[in-house]
A and B are shown apart, each in its own frame.
Chain A
């Protein structure tokens, strides 16, 4: 094990005649707020020791000191690329405990915002994956297009990325009338844009060479290790919380969940691409089917819940995000436990990296869409 180094120094060390321990992160072009040490034998990785916790901010403890509504802005910062979806399961669990029903228009607005957020998160992921593979165009294009979807979210939520939109009781406000024509225009543009993405990046021979048969995660391993989201679907499992256990009105909508038999990094990347198309399809249907009416149930700031426990989950951009809330009937939750997709996917990093080449590390690492801020909570 490379543990002595992981705890002591940040330097490269020779641990055996032909083995070298290399420390990666937290200051590193790619790793960001995450550190792991790899032991290499020549060009092959023989051991990996992940060292998370650089962004651990104790969100779970802080919820004990805040009422149900006060916790929202603090919790959503745990996953800033995906703010609507991290509040989703929290609200669902809290609503279960409060025993309230959400008006249908509020449910549709939740789905619209959630899918818009998914596209934003995937575009951010795609940009970083592009720069990881040395493809600067694929950094600039997705980040430029992401801002268009940020604007869409801003039309409804009012802020650039932190809207605290999905709240217990419904959503914060109704959408403006100008949203629908604007959104349809953006989707038409973005669908042609996705074809460009495919041509320049996903069918690029260099991209194929760097991702095909790299970081293979077999179906049975994926299930056994409990991974979620695009990683799971890239491993030939057609599982998605939106279909497995539909929340909001997903059961009324028509969309596909992609899955790929290749089980490699390429498959995981393709899942993201297909999901962006499907998200736009979902929003189009929502805009068609949306009824008029109220968007939320007004809750008291000191809202009490029934004592008990609730476990709710939604499909966030990175996979199933679940909250376990235990309540003692007071205005503050007794215990909030967050099970985030990033933490659940981290477990496979060790499995995928061992045996692969050092040069494949960026592609594998970022194909997991591991977001340390979310994992550390």
Chain B
């Protein structure tokens, strides 16, 4: 059985060019899928029987909300790997994910507010789903702030890693909040265990947009991790030998 030596890419020297090669693929996939997804969502999909056209916010709201939770879990996993293996790239990946996760959380909250106003009659309510998602935004901002507060990057890695791991308990709370408590927010339309409670064309628009958001996040995180690598390893020989650095 052929095995891949994953530790080969645990060093910035090998991960940097790999990330550079992957970025255009993910960026183009994100752009193409977003174009298809928006077309399906805004043109092909029919209006909703009770919400009219207001429901179309779902094509932005749900993908970003999913990503906000998923990215946090990925950040926590990288943090755990960084704490356990003491690998530099893991910590840098965790660092690179935080701003994109915060952006996704912010978009989910923002679009949710503008969806809530015409349907529920309010921008905001302190129900369990919305409050726990707001806590997620504060967790992302907390991780970013903590990183900036500590000068030594290795110490910052450890502190942010612990905070990320502590915060990961919030993710299942967000996901199951609509099941566990009475909330103003409706339950999940899509779940692993039941048939979708949406027309098929609406589901496909939402899934395409989710993949677009996913690929966008990968492309942006890889681009960000490259700048983090150059910044944190600026004294190292391999950075000095990079064509991008030499010609700058």
Physical interaction between A and B = no
Which B positions have Cβ atoms within 8 angstroms of A? none
